[in-house]
Structure 1
Amino acid sequence: MKSWLLSFAFLLVSPAFAQTPTSVTLALNWKAEPEFGGFYAAALQGIYKKHGLDVKILEGGSGTPTVQMLANGKVEFAIVSADEVILSQDRNSKNKVKGLFAVYQTSPYIVMSHAEKNYKNLKDVFMSEGILSMQSGLPYYQYLVKKFGKPKVKVVPYAGGVSNFLNDKNFSQQGFITTEPLSAEKAGAKVKTFLIAEEGFNPYLVVIGATEETLSKKPELVKKFVAASREGWIAYLKDPKETNKHMATLNKAFDLQTFNKAAEVQKPLIETKETLGSMSSTRWSTLVQQLKDLKLIKSSPKAEDLYTNY
């Protein structure tokens, strides 16, 4: 009997009897950069595998339709923003997308100007005689116009990069705190950044999204994925260097020094006294009202229908 039990126990732990990891895809809305560091850390350090997951991280780019990819069932998980979740639910009542884990507790969207201009706040930029490169269709731009009034600054379309900024001291532009300011500083510019969140528009960003159908049909998969992603982010925040080395091989636009600097800059926007990645009903309700005031949505989704903490 003992011999039989030992043989059975051996079979249970042998590779042939090991549980096959569940394959899932996480779609990003941009290239491999520190804003996604925790997900890459979870893959690189075997954290997803430990949770029984084989995760494919699918890089994105400008305009990657991650919400539609979720709604169409092309991927199980994708990176979205809180305002995208609300806008999508307002426009499509079928197979709604919900937020599960928010990397950025404070939105990393910024406006940057030249330090020599001595602007004290974002309103100074809006009411200056210079040039502001910003996408006028973005919710945060419309929010700022509603708050400050019609801008005196000349608003031009956002073209990406920092070349125009470097060539004109009167030029300000939108950006991501881990990207454009670091690129401009590396090129020798003295930069001053203004977080848009400080003006009161602060949606959660780099949010893991999934559809209600996935949450309903695969609840254990969702729990495992969020738990593993959280572990990955805890590991990345503690020591991002090895993961940054890996991401630098995937994204040649940044050198390793910039990756490490970006990881340092974003850390205060991610860390929270609450459970890492958790979200609040108050924040979601506030954002719904802001989008309603801007006439960007017709309905008023309830906070509990927009997100679930795990």
Structure 2
Amino acid sequence: MTSSLKVNAMFCSSILARKLFLGLMVVPLLLGCTGTEVPDDLTDETITLALNWYPDSQHGGFYAAEHFGFFQDEGLQVQIEPGGPGAPVVQNVALGRVAFGVGNADQILLAREQQIPLVALMASMQNSPRCLMVHQESGITSFEQLKGIKLALGAGKSFAKFLSQDGVLKDVQVVPYTGSVAPFLADTQFGQQAYVFSEPYVVEQRGAHPVCLMVSDLGFNPYSSILFTNEELLQEKPEVVAKIVRAVRRGWLAYLNDPEPVNQKIQKDNPEMNLEALSYGAKAIADLCLPAGLAKAEIGTMTDARWDDLKQQLTEIELVSKDLSPDQSYSLQFLQPLETSP
């Protein structure tokens, strides 16, 4: 397998999403039998933070908190647990097997719909990295021009259901997303779902000229790379939660300022990811983490309005019920402005 294809494999998360959805069906049953528990690892002074995928730039702030000693500054010993296809992050956090996990805002609300007591604590990315990737040769530069091509999308994805309801897909032929960029590379009239920090780099290395249409520009914009925990841990160990959140927020500021030493650590945990790809990713997510108008001291922030909007959108595409209250799905209590250097 070539290096670029190996990098591509790191980003193919559709299989993970399908397995995660199936897992969400099972967790409420397990919770009903066992109840949620505060993870044992907290009593042993080692806290596990479970990633939602193989380590890459979307996890840079978590690794920076470790690399620069911010966890240690808080008196914490944190173990970062890499993810991968089928990694049961939601299930393990819900059941108290690990203390903290990484995911996206729509996943948290989908879990809450299934009575899984997860709570989002901070949002690494204010704007979603989700995009539709098309060829420059297609002449498509906007969603209004999205016509006459094949478009690979993952079945059941919340963003795909939103696009369908919004009418964006009416003039394209939707085909199953296989997790590979090979069909894209073979046909300039082919597009696919992507993350702006990943697949564009892969196809550029193979000679393609991608154009990324950001789904957030249409208004569907779930917070991404969220740090979350379970409700019981939040209630019983708020001081630990506060320390973790503070360290990770500092980590994100450090990573955005100087990603290269952290990327070397990420590569050690994920040797299939080369440093050039990680550098590309760090640059791509910088404006997603700190968009124009957001002060550095506000890194990781969330708002009630954004969560309310997302809940309404998921209700409209029939993924959550109208009775679901998003209030318990997140906590803003640890998001006071950080002290930052001038």
- TM-score for the superposition, normalised by structure 2: 0.81
1:229 is aligned to 248
* 1:215 CA drift (Å): 0.5
What is the aligned partner in structure 2 of residue 101 from structure 1?
122
* CA gap 1:121/1:265 in 2 versus in 1, 3 angstroms: same
- Aligned pairs for 1:252-263 (under 5 A) are 252-263=271-282
SS in 2 for 1:30: coil
Q: Which has the larger radius of gyration?
A: 1
Q: Distance in 1 between matches of 2:111 and 2:274?
A: 35
- Corresponding residue for 2:140? 119
Q: What SS does the corresponding residue of 1:184 show, helix, strand or coil?
A: helix
1:71 and 2:90 matched: no
Q: Secondary structure at the match of 1:210?
A: strand
Query: CA deviation digits over 1:94-153, x for unaligned, max 9?
Result: 6x101101011000001100001111312432xx22211111310111111111165332
SS at match of 2:133: strand
Is contact 1:123–1:148 with CA below 8 Å preserved after alignment? no
Given the alignment of the two structures, is residue 55 of structure 1 paired with residue 78 of structure 2, yes or no?
yes
Check the 8 A contact 1:113/1:192 in 2, yes or no: yes
Contact 2:92–2:98 (CA under 8 A) maintained in structure 1: yes
Q: Deviations over 1:183-230 (max 9, x none)?
A: 111111111001101011000011001111010010110000000111
Moved more, 115-124 or 257-266: 115-124
8 Å CA contact 1:27–1:60 kept in 2: the answer is yes
Q: Is the 8 A contact 1:29 1:63 kept in 2?
A: no
Paired position in structure 2 for 1:46: 69
State how far apart, in whole Å, the 2-side matches of 1:88 and 1:210 are.
12
Q: Does 1:265 align with 2:281?
A: no
Q: Structure 1: which amino acid aligns with 2:183?
A: N
Kindly, what percent of the aligned residue pairs are identical? 34
Answering whether residue 56 of structure 2 is matched by residue 33 of structure 1, we say yes
Instruction: Normalising by structure 1, report the TM-score.
Output: 0.89
Aligned residues: 287
> Does the 8 A contact of 1:90 with 1:299 survive in 2?
no
TM superposition outliers: structure 1 runs of 4+ over 2 Å? 62-65, 122-125, 149-152, 299-304
CA distance in 2, matches of 1:207, 1:229: 11
Amino acid at match of 1:44: H
The SS at the match of 1:183 is helix
Q: CA deviation at 1:250?
A: 2.1
Q: Deviations over 1:151-179 (max 9, x none)?
A: 33221111113121111111100011111
- Structure 1 regions of 5+ residues with no counterpart? 1-19
| Aligned 8 A contact 2:141 2:211 in 1 | no
Q: CA deviation at 1:22?
A: 2.5
Consecutive unaligned residues of structure 2, counting only runs of 5 or more, are 1-42, 335-342
DSSP-derived class of the 1:297 partner: coil
1:201 maps to 2:224: no
User: What is the distance in 2 between the residues matched to 1:213 and 1:21?
Assistant: 18
Q: What is the deviation of 1:262?
A: 1.0
Aligned position for 1:82: 105
Q: Give the AA of the match of 1:206.
A: S
- Provide the rounded CA distance (Å) in 1 between the counterparts of 2:323 and 2:79: 34
SS of match in other structure, 2:229: strand
SS of the aligned residue for 2:48 comes to strand
